[in-house]
Amino acid sequence: MSTNLSVNINKIATLRNARGENAPDVVKVAKDCERMGANGITVHPRPDERHIRRADVYALRPVVRTEFNIEGYPAPEFMELVLSVKPEQVTLVPDAPDAVTSSAGWNVTDNADFLRDIVGRLKQAGIRASIFVDPDPRQIEAAAAVGADRVELYTKPYADLFPTSPEKAVAPYVEASKVAHNLGLGVNAGHDLSLINLEFFHARVPWLDEVSIGHALVCDALYLGLAETIKRYKECLRV
């Protein structure tokens, strides 16, 4: 089974916003990423629009030809946006509005009624629903129970432990993926995956549908160029 690479372009928007103009152009970068081999484009619009803006989401929808994934906390404004744009996938994250970046998965068991309603609305609109979770079998089981199509495994703990104990770092994710697969869920992964740790993760974790990578990929592109960087990330997913 092949694993798709979805490129998160939030950091491109952060760079653009620093000057208040339109360079770099996030729409052009998204199209270029696809041309260079990306299997999808991910954005995470936040309420303060400090990187991706609502206008960007509307501008990207007609030009993304691979798979469009929108991440975010399902506040009313976010749901209005995604139900209007109808991306292929929405990834639900539990971030507070002022969060710098995602720092934990959902406690699905404690938010089951809320998430069941959100997932139902997404699926009724023909949008694949993915829930961002820690590699905890109980939360994965709860995600299946509320009707999710996929889970996205939060991989920062893996990235932090990988340099010293790679097998220990990856073990919870191997088990989590098995649990998800047995429940009929697709498996995505993301957060701090990089050229350093991605190949090992992909080789060990079964049934991995997609990885979403932004910060590390953009950092690598400063040195390698965007085309070469995407090529190298894709090579990590061919093992």
Residue 98 has pLDDT above 70, yes or no: no
Backbone angles phi, psi at 70, to 5 degrees: -110, 125
Q: What confidence tier does 99 reach under pLDDT thresholds 50, 70, 90?
A: low
Query: According to the model, what pLDDT value does residue 103 have?
Result: 67
CA distance 195 to 188: 17
Percentage above 70 pLDDT, the chain? 96
Query: According to the model, what pLDDT value does residue 179 have?
Result: 98
For domain 4-236, give the fold. TIM Barrel (3.20.20)
Average pLDDT over residues 151-174: 98
Say which amino acid occupies 228: E
CA distance 209 to 211: 7
CB 54 within 8 A of CB 70: no
Q: What confidence tier does 65 reach under pLDDT thresholds 50, 70, 90?
A: very high
* Residues annotated catalytic, as ranges: 44, 71, 191
Average pLDDT over residues 72-82: 97
Taking alpha carbons only, the member of 64, 37, 42 closest to residue 231 is 37
Average pLDDT over residues 47-69: 97
CB 99 within 8 A of CB 132: no
* Every domain of the chain and the residues it spans: 4-236
CB 56 within 8 A of CB 68: no
**pLDDT digits over 201-235, tens only?**
999 999 999 999 999 999 999 999 999 999 999 99
DSSP state of 110: G
